Structure 1
Amino acid sequence: MVEPSAAVNAADADAALWGLLERDPLFELRLAGAEGAFAGPWANPEPSPPVSPPPSLPPGVASRGEELLDIAARSADDPDVADAASAAGLDAVLAGALEAVLNAEVLAEGLEEEPEALGDPWTDGELRIALARAIVAQALRAADERLDGTWACDGDHRDALVAALVAALGGSDRGGVGRAVGRFGLSVALRLGATRPLERRRSALTEASAPAAGDVLRYLARGEELRGFLAEAVHAAGGPVVLVAHSLGGIACVDLLAALRLPAVELLVTVGSQAPLLYELDALPLLPFGRSLPPSFPRWVNVYDRRDLLGHVGAGVFPGRVEDRVVDNRTAFPRAHSAYFGNRAFYSVLDEVLP
């Protein structure tokens, strides 16, 4: 097994694993099938020397994999699972995700395998966790397809649903279902490049960020209409206004407030925004590089996640004028760019800064 290096902590490895699962929800289950985990009737949580293959199961006796799938088919009816799915906004897609995973060819193939002599067999709890994560990853993909975008589900809501599914499947034989990475998942995530995710996933990351980049480029070329819309909305609101602006919205708001005095705006909260970067590139239409923010510019709180490749810090770019607040969405990019709005930590920042 590959041990995590000092440069890769559990949180980064967890995000790397989910980055793999969101591209292939059956990733861990494929690994389990390759290692013969579904067929074996044993459950040994500790590494042990290789042993002789166990005898075949008696006729009519289900393997642990078959028993697990039978329980999983009923898991969507569990009240705790339903509550967790609703909190994550995945209740409408959970049943379909469950069906897709349980009907996956990799599971059928795994159940047909004969038990093998394994030196480090998967425990029952690890199988339950792998199956639960596959179901949730499939649900996230289905939610993305429905939205035709990236569903705003952070790591805490995602892991709460995984934990509820694991409990419905029979529980875990180790602690830390939500935040810990399975010993097999961590090992493989590291082998596949958790320490160098940008180099390994350049094509996928480019594809994921292209729509946002296209919107930004369009704004830089023809942004008058959006700035005009924002100014009219502020005037129509009348009294004290707080602008909460995500991504491109943050760029447009910074640009607008740097050029137009809008005294009704008391606070600007940018979320996962590229405004500081574009300023440094001298690319903001109304705020050239080197020009300071005007005295009329409101208080500016900038929220970012370090795994959000489209979110940038601002305090070093505009000293004394920007308050950077980091939150951890506990998920990989591109979901990290949308997950702020499913993250309780983000709303805690809003509770703190709202006038």
Structure 2
Amino acid sequence: MALVRPDYKVAECYWGGTAGSTLGAQGVSVPAGHSARALTDPGASASGDADEDEEVALWGLLERDPLFELRLLSPGQDTAEELPPHAIPMGQQLEQAARRLPLDASIVAVAEEAGVGEVLGDAVETVVSDPTVSDVMRMADGMGGELRGALARAVTAEALRAADDAACDVVALDGAHRDALVDAIAAALGGSDRGLGGMVLRSGLRLALSLGATKPVERRRAAITRMAAPAGGDVLLYLSRGQALRDFIIKTISALDGPVAIVAHSLGGVASLEALAGQQLAAVELLVTVGSQAPLLYELNALPTLPFGATLPSSVPRWVNVYDQRDLLAYVGEGVFARRVEDRRIDSKSPFPRSHSAYFANRRFYTLLGEVLP
């Protein structure tokens, strides 16, 4: 700020200490992190829990990338031995068997039980047509059940992804129905080795786990809750009892001398907008919201004091809303607050969630402030 507007004085408005949320009982509401097997089978071994955790972690990866397991099988595989004349390669047999899956009434029945019957055919086609899968199929001889199991899981994961997309939601499906579909598909393909496959998959999965790609979340739930509670809890607290935060902002502004420009990030932008909408603060000449959810909450009719359809009162000064397309917590306001908000886009070139705070390390952001400040 000293570079773009050296004549401005920066005043802090840290509301988290007095108006923010905390875990009042230190998180005792969080269930203890035990695996499902340990809860249902007290005699379950630690190695059994580890296997279950690996399986859950694998599905966490497959739901993001249905071909994850097949990609691990693709590199470094030796080509199959030369086949006898007129012999059909295993990969070609598997592809033909996979394409017949949507025609198998027993498979379709299991898929419908899992809630993915309508998308099974498309899922099969998406998987077997992928170049990665084609490469693996060409080297299929010798892989046997490992490949059939991986292919069954890929088709099931792709069907889940397609079902979620079609429903615009997360389809309710438990592990038992999912595994039943995998087993049915694998059997139709010729049978698979029960479990998570061979050394290639296990070593790749364990590497992914060691790098933190995914872990069974319930084991880390207490730590995750403690990390997420300040941000998520602040939103819930504000939407239910937000007057304390708005009062804090008003009190801070009232103590300042001279004209004021508010620069407010995320939930601070929501609270600042409502504070200005509810009270005339003549000193405030500009509101700059950064990575803010105010437009979304207004459209959802979820703002505590500003119902959807209500026009912004004249007490709200010029409003500039800064957003980053990569910030999934940032929304634009021109569509819902016509002619009362000016959206300005910047690009942090950072993925979410880092993009939500990267504004304040972006030189373009301060250049923009220099342009819009009175």
Greater RCO structure (CA 8 Å; 6+ sep):
1
TM-score, normalised to structure 1, is 0.46
Larger Rg: 2
Instruction: Tell me the TM-score normalised to structure 2 length.
Output: 0.44
